[in-house]
Amino acid sequence: MGDLRKYTPLCIGAFALIMCTCILASTDTEARTVIDHDVVVTSDTSWADDTYEVHGNVTVVGGMTLHLSRVVLEIVGTSDGSHRIEVESGGHLIADNSTIRGSPSTIGAIFAGNVLMTTCTVEGLYVSNVTEAMLVSGVAEFRHTTIKDTKNHTAIKVTGTLEAVDCQFLELGSIALFFPDPVGARRSSMKGCTLSGRLMGTGDTYGILMSWTEAVTADVSLDVADCEFQDFSYGLQGSFDTSRASLDVLGSSFAGCGQGISISGNNASVSIVGCELEGPGTVGINIYVIDPSEASIDLTTAELVISGFDVGINIRGPAHGFRPLLDNVTVILCTQGIHVLGSTVLVEDSHVTECGVCFYVESMARIEIRRTEHTYRSGDYAPGPQAAVVAFTIVNVTTCRWKDGPFITEGNLILMGDDGVELDRLDLTEPKAMEVVVWSLTKYNDLGRLWIVPTFRVGNEGFVGANFSIYNLSAQHVEIVDDLPPTINQTWPDDGHWFATSDITVSGRVGDKGSGMASLVARIEGGQETLAVVDGDGLWSVTFDPVDDGPYRVELLATDNTGGTTAIPIANLTVDTSMPTIDIDQGLEVLVNTTWITVTGRTEPYSIVHMWEVDAPPDPPYKCEDVTEADKEGYFSLYVCMGAGLHQVSINATDRAGNVATISMTVAMDPYYPKVDITSPVRGVWLNSTMVHVSGVVTDNGPSAWVKGWIDGEEMIDDEGDFTFDLEFTEGEHSIRIDVMDEAGNRHSATVTFNVDITLPTIRIVTPKEDRFFTMERKVDLQGEVREDNLLEVTLNGEPIGLLSGIFTAALDIEEGENTYTIEAVDMAGNVARSTITILHDLTPPEYTYETTFPEGLTVDVDGTLYGTYTGTGVPHIGFAFQVSEPSRITASGGLGQAEGEGILTVWIELEEGMNTITFTVQDEAGNAASPVTYRIVLDTTPPDIRVDDPMGDVKTKERNYRLRGRMEEGSSLTIDGNEVTVNSDGTFNIQVDIVVGPNTFHLEATDRVGLTSSIDVTITRQKEADESPGPGVIVAVMGLTAVAALSRSIAGRRD
């Protein structure tokens, strides 16, 4: 298809532009709006879901807003930088999901106002005769936005405030972002952004370049957080000479930059925290304090990771007053890790390894290393005075004790280096931390140590503790080792001894060749524990009294003063002075429903248990005796047979010591099971309540003392065997199962099934549809539907009515007045549903009267015709209030209005200019219609028009009279200079007036039927004759005349 072109005027603010819109129907092109002039936004404007091609500048003036949503804005210029997009001070540009670009030529961007871009792309920027492609002098906020392809030396120059979140800056000029001295207080920030130096111009490239001098008069700052800098000559370079400037670089990364971060100058506050800098490059972080006579840079560096540079961190500054702290810094894989010139640098809690030289100093520089992992003695210096690298450590011995023994609180602990040199002596009565040099490198010495060996002396004996690393900064708890354990021998009695008494005595000898005995403890396993008294020869004796019957293991534990121990068993002993006990699991009185019984229980382990029936008959026909041995835990099981009736049984147990115990038990046999009879509910009954009454009785002819019963698993039968209770069920068919059991365990059950239905039948009357139905007919067909699966009966006013597939019909004879019919449906459960319909037989039409209301208007009756005029400001409405004798509907003809109800019903009608004819019909609910009424009114809100046909134009005459001719609204009256004159019935007039020499002005005023007026002035100039003088005035006469007149006209409508 070909191009379809149309031209549409585009108004933006107060400017009207001619816009050419091209709609391309081809499937491989996009629709776009082409604007071939400058666009100046002078009122709030929104563009959405389109491509706008603008051949000119786009300017947002102060106080106005341009909103771009899902828009591609192409600014087309004849050459690079010929056009621009500009937001003036006070203006607003809000863009989301849009693209702004120069195509095919580049454009400039000047943001002096407020700019908010979200998920946008800005590309193709260039401005001739200036260094920057984009100037931000106002407030710019970029979110999830890409800025790329700029051709100026500087991509973005910021003298205002910039906030960038999750943005990308790609393919830019030599400087991606330039922050010179701003005007006023400014706080800019960049978070989560990516800056790439690829495809930038030749020569040095900068990700961010800052230059804040003493010209800054207010607080200014830049926060850079979680950003990525890639492939720049200088990732971030800042030059400062003002105390009002601050730079915070947090959690950002620098990869492939010649210098990652370079800071120079004085006075400013700079914080570099949590950053990663990865080479290759010359310097990871470069800090240079220039002027020693001014305040140094307030520098904070912490949690940095730097790798792959010629110099990881380079710090240069005055020899005095500048002592920066490198805290928690990691520097690896660099030629020089940390290079310092002229300053003292503190390296603490850091990591510097895998470098050619970890630390390098020159020209009065000094590096002090504390709590830092680094390559041992990896340092170098340039020849010169006072250059030094010194690594310190803190030796903090807080306690000294014998290993596994008491604390040593007196004497001296000697700290020896692994080079055999005593470093210091610690008075154990008052321990304290000491700082010692691990290694140092100066022009004059080179020394180093790795380990500290603690030694404690008592008299002429020396005891050595465990070595610990000189780099271990934690508090040291030195332990001196004594590895000589005590000895125990000559014990009594022998293993396996049995005691018949309740006390146990053991004895022996103990000794120690080391630090001396501390204690000897004798204990019965799981029982008494005694601290033995040892004499000078090491002999001891312990008695345990009293002890309970049972097996025992006696153990001895000897402990010396250094915690060395020896533990041995003395003997395994057994004490047994009591008879065994017999516990029967079933109890001593047992009721069973079988001819046999298994008796289980527990006694002393390995006892012999014997069970027999007392007074058993000679040679009984069943087994009435059994013998068994209890297991290692004392459990046993015996089996005997019995007939029905009551039996006496004896059981005895003999333990391993010969102690005997005997008990008796009674066993009864009950072979009869109970019977259950459910009296309510009756099997198959239908119930219309979810609460069901259940009752019945249980009987048992056996000797059991009680009977228990369960309803569906829940115990609910009383001790007499009767049961009566209420249970709640849901709708539907249910079964109740009652289980009973007597004391002997005999069981029986019974089940009853019934139905619960609490849902009423559903009655739906199909015709008539209304619950209150009006009709003029004497017969009405009634039809409806009953829904119920278990329906018993349907009645109409108490009389049965037949159903066919759930449908009922009846022909009703209707009497004058109100007729009420009740349909009742009953289901098998006795649920009753009712539905009532009232049919009113009405043959009398309604009676009515009405009154009219015309707010802000007035009416006048002229010869039987009603005229009205309106004095209000809105649309004229007239209200009709009908008083009806019964509920009715009032309807105005032509759909003008309607009201429905009873009492007074009001219908408002909107009047139109001219004749309004309204017919109202009144109809009651039964359809009876009263006689209609027609209302007519002529609405006149226009003043009468006076048209003068003669004279017309500039007229002069020498005649003494003149005839005025014209026309006005029919039915209107006319006065000339206040004198009423005759007007024809069709509104024309022909009036003769006398005139005098000179101008003669006549005032004509018309008044229509409703009192609206208008006026006009007519002037006729009479020329003087030779022998005539000016007359005294103007005389109006009803006669014919002709004249030439000058007509001046002013018509004004008014209401009297």
Measured distance CA(744)–CA(738) in Å, rounded:
18
96 in any annotated domain: no
Instruction: Please tell me which residue, 560 or 240, carries the higher pLDDT value.
Output: 240
pLDDT at 45 over 90: yes
Please say whether the beta carbons of 92 and 68 come within 8 A.
Answer: no
pLDDT at 199 over 60: no
249 in any annotated domain: no
Please say whether the beta carbons of 43 and 16 come within 8 A.
Answer: no
pLDDT band at 485 (very low <50, low <70, confident <90, very high): confident
Residue (of 519, 511, 534, 672) closest to 591 by Cα position: 672
Q: Helix, strand, coil shares of the chain as percentages rounded to 5? A: 0, 60, 40
Given the DSSP bridges, would you call strands 707-711 and 732-742 parallel, antiparallel or unpaired? Answer: antiparallel
Please say whether the beta carbons of 808 and 833 come within 8 A.
Answer: no
pLDDT at 259 over 70: yes
Residue (of 197, 146, 159, 149) closest to 175 by Cα position: 197
Measured distance CA(163)–CA(188) in Å, rounded:
6
Task: Output phi, psi for 953, to 5 deg.
Answer: 80, -170
Sheet containing 707-711, strands listed edge to edge, beginning at the edge strand earlier in sequence: 686-687, 747-756, 732-742, 707-711, 714-715
User: Is the same domain home to 605 and 550?
Assistant: no
Q: Which residues contact 934 (CB under 8 A, 6 or more apart)?
A: 917, 918, 919, 920
Residue (of 556, 593, 586) closest to 571 by Cα position: 556
Please say whether the beta carbons of 972 and 984 come within 8 A.
Answer: no
pLDDT band at 99 (very low <50, low <70, confident <90, very high): very high
What is residue 56's predicted lDDT score, i.e. its pLDDT? 93
Measured distance CA(259)–CA(43) in Å, rounded:
48
- Give the mean pLDDT of 732-750: 84
What is residue 991's predicted lDDT score, i.e. its pLDDT? 92
Identity of residue 490? Q
Please say whether the beta carbons of 645 and 617 come within 8 A.
Answer: no
**Dihedral sign for Cα atoms in the order 505, 507, 512, 517:** positive
Please say whether the beta carbons of 676 and 658 come within 8 A.
Answer: no
Instruction: Indicate the residue among 628, 651, 669 that finishes a domain.
Output: 669
Instruction: Please tell me which residue, 966 or 646, carries the higher pLDDT value.
Output: 966
477 in any annotated domain: no
User: Is the same domain home to 852 and 922?
Assistant: yes
User: Is the same domain home to 767 and 831?
Assistant: yes
Find the angle CA(456)-CA(457)-CA(461) to the nearest 5 degrees. 130
What is residue 498's predicted lDDT score, i.e. its pLDDT? 64
Measured distance CA(605)–CA(633) in Å, rounded:
5
- Give the mean pLDDT of 811-836: 86
Could you read off the pLDDT of 768-816 as tens digits, one per residue? 887 777 877 788 888 889 888 888 888 988 889 988 888 888 888 888 7
What is residue 501's predicted lDDT score, i.e. its pLDDT? 74
Side-chain-facing half-sphere of 42: CA atoms under 13 Å: 11
Which residues pair with residue 346 across a beta bridge?
Answer: 325, 368
528 in any annotated domain: yes
Could you read off the pLDDT of 990-1037 as tens digits, one per residue? 999 999 999 999 999 999 888 889 999 899 999 887 665 555 444 443
Instruction: Please tell me which residue, 676 or 716, carries the higher pLDDT value.
Output: 676
**CB contact burial 170-186 (16+ within 10 A = b; e otherwise):** bbbbbbbbbbbbbeeeb
Please say whether the beta carbons of 1009 and 984 come within 8 A.
Answer: no
Please say whether the beta carbons of 584 and 651 come within 8 A.
Answer: yes
User: Is the same domain home to 714 and 792?
Assistant: no
User: What percentage of residues in the chain have a pLDDT greater than 70?
Assistant: 92
* Tokens read off for 791: 């329906």
788 in any annotated domain: yes
492 in any annotated domain: yes
pLDDT band at 322 (very low <50, low <70, confident <90, very high): confident
Of the chain, the end-to-end C-alpha distance in Å amounts to 68
Instruction: Indicate the residue among 741, 756, 771 that finishes a domain.
Output: 756
Burial of 436 (0-12, 13-18, 19+ CB in 10 A): middle
pLDDT band at 430 (very low <50, low <70, confident <90, very high): confident
- Give the mean pLDDT of 937-942: 87
Print the domain residue range for 1011: 946-1022
Measured distance CA(33)–CA(273) in Å, rounded:
49
Please say whether the beta carbons of 181 and 214 come within 8 A.
Answer: no
Residue (of 305, 311, 235) closest to 276 by Cα position: 305
Measured distance CA(438)–CA(370) in Å, rounded:
10
User: Is the same domain home to 657 and 692?
Assistant: no
Measured distance CA(525)–CA(571) in Å, rounded:
11
Residue (of 938, 984, 968) closest to 1053 by Cα position: 968
User: Is the same domain home to 869 and 902?
Assistant: yes
pLDDT band at 1045 (very low <50, low <70, confident <90, very high): very low
Map tokens 């800071």 to a residue: 263
Number of domains in the chain: 6
828 in any annotated domain: yes
Task: Output phi, psi for 893, to 5 deg.
Answer: -65, 155
What is residue 87's predicted lDDT score, i.e. its pLDDT? 97
CATH number at residue 835: 2.60.40.10
Please say whether the beta carbons of 646 and 671 come within 8 A.
Answer: no
794 in any annotated domain: yes
Could you read off the pLDDT of 134-182 as tens digits, one per residue? 999 999 999 999 999 888 889 999 999 999 999 999 988 899 999 999 8
Measured distance CA(157)–CA(212) in Å, rounded:
13
Distances (CA, A) of 879 to 41, 875, 896, 902, 911: 49, 13, 12, 17, 10
pTM over 0.75: no
User: Is the same domain home to 790 and 710?
Assistant: no
Q: Which residues contact 864 (CB under 8 A, 6 or more apart)?
A: none
DSSP conformational letter for 929: B
Identity of residue 113? G
Side-chain-facing half-sphere of 422: CA atoms under 13 Å: 7
User: What percentage of residues in the chain have a pLDDT greater than 90?
Assistant: 35
User: Is the same domain home to 852 and 935?
Assistant: yes
What is residue 23's predicted lDDT score, i.e. its pLDDT? 33
What is the overall mean pLDDT for the chain? Answer: 85
User: Is the same domain home to 629 and 709?
Assistant: no
Please say whether the beta carbons of 290 and 298 come within 8 A.
Answer: no
Map tokens 């403890």 to a residue: 521
pLDDT at 398 over 50: yes
- Give the mean pLDDT of 625-642: 90
* Tokens read off for 169: 């800056």
- Give the mean pLDDT of 353-377: 91
User: Is the same domain home to 853 and 935?
Assistant: yes
What is residue 804's predicted lDDT score, i.e. its pLDDT? 84
Distances (CA, A) of 1008 to 862, 970, 984: 11, 8, 14
**CB contact burial 961-976 (16+ within 10 A = b; e otherwise):** bbbbebbbbebbbbbb
Measured distance CA(775)–CA(814) in Å, rounded:
9
Please say whether the beta carbons of 354 and 332 come within 8 A.
Answer: yes
pLDDT band at 329 (very low <50, low <70, confident <90, very high): very high
* Tokens read off for 318: 């005055």
Q: Which one of 179-183, 271-275, 773-777, 837-841 scores highest in mean pLDDT?
A: 271-275
* Tokens read off for 404: 């596994």
Identity of residue 325? L
Rg (CA), the chain: 59
Please say whether the beta carbons of 414 and 398 come within 8 A.
Answer: no
Distances (CA, A) of 954 to 214, 391, 996, 1046, 1051: 82, 117, 17, 4, 19
User: Is the same domain home to 935 and 954?
Assistant: no
Instruction: Indicate the residue among 575, 592, 624 that finishes a domain.
Output: 575
- Give the mean pLDDT of 81-100: 94
What is residue 1029's predicted lDDT score, i.e. its pLDDT? 56
Side-chain-facing half-sphere of 256: CA atoms under 13 Å: 11
* DSSP code string of 903-967: EEEEEEEE--SEEEEEEEEEEETT--BPPPEEEEEEE--SPPP-EEEES-SS-EE--SEEEEEEE
User: Is the same domain home to 734 and 797?
Assistant: no
Residue 830 gets the label, from left (phi > 0), alpha (psi -120 to 50) or beta, of left
